[in-house]
Amino acid sequence: MKRTVIAGVGHYVPENVVTNDDLSRIMETSDEWIQERTGIKERRWVSSDGEDTTSGMGTKAARNAIADAGLKPEDIDFIIFATLSPDYYFPGPGVQVQENLGIDTVGALDVRNQCSGFVYGLSVADQFIKTGMYKNILLIGSELHSGGLDKTTRGRGVSVIFGDGAGAVVLQASDDQSKGVLTTKLHSEGKHAKELALLGPATARWVDRIIEDADPEDMSYYPYMNGNFVFKHAVTRFQEVIMEGLNEIGKSPEDIDLLIPHQANLRISQYIQAKMGLAPEKVFNNIMKYGNTTAASIPIALSEAKAAGKLKEGDLLCLAAFGSGFTWGSALVQF
Ligand code: UT7
């Protein structure tokens, strides 16, 4: 059976840096509160010129990943795009990447699993590659949160956390059994769907109501998060799903060379690191610079970790995510 290797990584973030102090000028918050509770110092928010879009940032990250793999866009035979913030309600942005890259009519699949979207997409790609269906799959995570956040004091519990950006990988079929994706684990628990959700623009409140109900006090048009509740579930599920993967391949936490958790909150990453007995340098964090970029956070971190020389061939890489749905998952990869 083929193995799925990470042949190329890349990312793109908008130029516009928004610091915590910038936010404290538009809402009642402070650098101190944000850093203490989340670890975030700054994030990227797209400029209002409309230049950066979810599909556009995804395309830029994809080009970088394809170049890193030493390939050309025409070598890609399938696209998977994970996002919770597509350009359009439909179609999803996968097809826009196919068009932007000017590649043949390859399949394009959109994944709607929020913070776990990248891990879900990786798992799907791995199944396609293992069975021999595709050779070079482009997997993208891209998010444009900033345009849809409540940037008043009312929305500060959510809006200070999220940032914009995109990351991508090229996943490639390999006959080398000594490396590649070893296992992926996926979970969901829909009873908590509304604890981290954006309910407003939805078929449950079809178009006429969306327009008629355009009430500025209606918070359902903004993302909602029951932060404490989500935090408690996240710290448990992250550990569970990492251990589930490790147990399957007969490894333990000390075998992990690098853990890249979804960048939800630095405190969550540090808690997992301590609970699993990992050395701090074995957990990669960049939430300080980008905030939470949902489906983009793992591939952006992966791209930066590789560029910083934190991943060597043969390393056991662990990816793990938890978020809205709830959905969560992990992947173990021999790099
Ligand atoms: O990516 C998907 C998964 N997401 C997560 O895993 C996130 C999980 N949750 C969290 O990271 C944390 O719960 C947050 C960072 C979102 C919030 O931290 P918290 O320690 O749970 O704060 P809180 O929501 O309990 O709020 C504490 C206080 C409240 O004031 P009172 O009621 O104690 O007077 C909030 O109104 O902090 C206030 N507050 C703020 N103050 C200044 C909330 N947001 C802000 C803010 N600036 N931005």
Record the tokens describing residue 148, joined without a space. 């849809």
- Please state the rounded mean pLDDT for residues 84-97: 95
What's residue 219's pLDDT? 81
- 223 Cα–ligand 1 center, Å: 14
**Which 3 state secondary structure label does DSSP give 247?**
helix
> From the alpha carbon of 227, which atom of ligand 1 is closest?
13
pTM value is: 0.96
Nearest residue (by CA) to ligand 1, atom 44, is 157
CA-closest candidate to residue 54, choices 78, 98, 84, 25: 84
Q: Is the pLDDT of residue 69 over 80?
A: yes
What's residue 7's pLDDT? 98
What's residue 207's pLDDT? 59
Domains and CATH numbers, the chain: 3-174 (3.40.47.10), 180-334 (3.40.47.10)
Residue 78 forms beta bridges with which residues?
107, 137
What's residue 218's pLDDT? 78
- Please state the rounded mean pLDDT for residues 236-257: 98
Cis amide leading into 216 (omega within 30): no
- Mean pLDDT over each residue of the chain, to the nearest integer: 95
Residue 81 forms beta bridges with which residues?
110, 140
pLDDT tens figures, 106-115:
999 999 999 9
CA distance 259 to 271: 13
Q: Is the pLDDT of residue 202 over 90?
A: no
The answer to whether the beta carbons of residues 171 and 106 sit under 8 Å apart is: no
Q: Is the pLDDT of residue 120 over 70?
A: yes
pLDDT tens figures, 208-240:
566 666 677 778 888 999 999 999 999 999 999
Q: Which residues are within 8 A (CB) of 38 and not within 5 positions of it... i.e. 6 or more apart?
A: 160, 161, 265, 266, 267, 287, 291
Nearest residue (by CA) to ligand 1, atom 21, is 228
CA distance 8 to 24: 38
- Pocket of ligand 1, beta carbon within 6 A: 29, 33-34, 37-38, 115, 156-157, 160-161, 227-228, 230-231, 234, 264-265, 268, 292, 322-323
Ligand 1 pocket mutation pick from 84, 119, 228 by most atoms within 8 angstroms of CB: 228
Instruction: Quickly state the pLDDT bin for 201 (edges 50, 70, 90).
Output: confident
Give the residue, 72 or 202, on which the prediction is more confident: 72
Phi-psi region of 74 (alpha: psi -120 to 50; beta: other; left: phi over 0): alpha
Ligand 1 pocket mutation pick from 28, 154, 224, 265 by most atoms within 8 angstroms of CB: 265
> From the alpha carbon of 294, which atom of ligand 1 is closest?
1
Instruction: Quickly state the pLDDT bin for 49 (edges 50, 70, 90).
Output: confident
What's residue 206's pLDDT? 64
CA-closest candidate to residue 86, choices 126, 114, 60, 45: 114
Ligand 1 pocket mutation pick from 23, 24, 37, 292 by most atoms within 8 angstroms of CB: 37
What's residue 25's pLDDT? 98
What's residue 205's pLDDT? 67
C-beta atoms surrounding 111 within 10 Å? 26
Query: Over pLDDT 90: what percentage of the chain?
Result: 91
- 161 Cα–ligand 1 center, Å: 9
Instruction: Quickly state the pLDDT bin for 298 (edges 50, 70, 90).
Output: very high
E strand or H helix that includes residue 36:
helix 31-38
What's residue 152's pLDDT? 95
- Please state the rounded mean pLDDT for residues 79-86: 97
- 160 Cα–ligand 1 center, Å: 10
